[in-house]
Amino acid sequence: MRVLILLILGVWPAVYLAPPAGAQGQNRDYFRVSTESRKYAVIFAGAGADETYQARFQQWALKLYGLLAGDYGYPAEHLTLLAGRSDSAEPIISEPCRRDTISAALNELKKQVQPGDQIAFFFIGHGTSDNQNAKFVVAGPDITGADFAASLNDFAGQDVIVVNSTSSGYPFCQTLSAPGRVVVCATRSAAERYDTIFAESFLEGLENHAADRDRNQRVSMFEAFVYTREKVKKWYADRSRLPSEHPTIDDNGDSRFAMEPNPAEGEGSLAEIAYLDTISASLTEVASGGPESEDLRRLTAKSQDLERSVMLLRNRKSDMDEKVYWQQMEPLLIDLARTSRKLKSLEAALDR
């Protein structure tokens, strides 16, 4: 009967195609969706061992910047790109990627963000580790995991995503693990020292929203991780090579990264509600500034936040009395259906 209700309400794609989400991180409502919250991204493209690597890292970084600015709706003032060893002719590269410029960029970001905003940090380049000090290779003194972890303490009021695509990045990522953070790593140990193809696969998942498994026109970090993991596996299998990298993820703050996360068991559930897309990326093209545009933003935010609530509640189902579960779930589904209907009607009216 309840399945029939869901089909009648028209919310099957938004709810039942999405995997269950976890209940960790309940001390604060992480990754909420509202018209007031904003999303930022900071891209670090480190120093290459030679010009070939340098060009590759910069190419990946520029592509990531372009995808976030285009398909994912990030305004230019919410994007920061540090790349290479010296000044670049590329206007979107703010500074070379060095220890001092990273520190300056984070200090500037700290002045901009508000509580509840989301920040995604991307590391592209070489990594090193001696099992004690894991580092991201930049021009001049390298950045250790401990260095960057200390910097993240300034962003306790924001929702934080970290994607480290470097070799030997696992110990670096472990130092960043904390409640409310989604941390994705290209490797599963410091011993995986060879150059990775993680970044290339990750970008494929973002391009044209290829990683969007539940077809809601948005890409969550869980979806991006699963897509990248499978692409990396296939890359090595197609070449009959033993994999020298194994993507992992941690989003419950226990520093134990998983290759096969199960949101129902607590690993990967926060990543399911951590979306890279901004609200702007989900909007139909309308004249900016009008009242209809504001209504569209409000309804879009409400719909996405209701989806988030549904996913979080679904993960608690095994710990709840079934009657209580449905007493809480059905009002959410009805509200989601009504909001989705209003949203579609407004989009249709604006398209005419």
Per-residue pLDDT reduced to its tens digit, 153-206? 999 999 999 999 999 999 999 999 999 999 999 999 999 999 999 999 999 999
Rg (CA), the chain: 20
pLDDT at 344: 86
Q: Class of the 39-280 domain? A: alpha beta
**Which is more confident, 242 or 19?**
242
Amino acid identity, residue 13?
P
pLDDT 10s digits, 336-351: 999 999 988 887 777 6
Q: Is 39 helix (H, G, I), strand (E, B) or coil?
A: strand
Of 43, 114, 41, the residue nearest 77 (C-alpha): 41
Looking at residue 291, what is its pLDDT? 64
Q: Give residue 279's identity as a one-letter amino acid code.
A: I
pLDDT tens for 282-328 read 775 554 455 667 888 899 999 999 999 998 888 788 888 999 999 99
Q: At 331, is the pLDDT very low, low, confident or very high (cuts 50, 70, 90)?
A: very high
Element (H, E) at 123: strand 118-124
> What is the residue type of 233?
K
pLDDT recorded at residue 343 = 87
320 token code pair: 């709840």
For residue 91, pLDDT over 90 is answered with no
What are the domain boundaries of the chain? 2-16+287-351, 39-280
Q: Is the pLDDT of residue 234 over 80?
A: yes
DSSP state of 176: T
Instruction: Compute how many other C-beta atoms are within 10 angstroms of the C-beta atom of residue 181.
Output: 22
H or E element at residue 237: helix 221-238
Q: Please give the torsion angle defined by the CA atoms of residues 142, 146, 150 and 156, in that order, rounded to the nearest 10 degrees.
A: 120
Q: Give the Cα separation of 226 and 18 in Å (integer).
A: 13
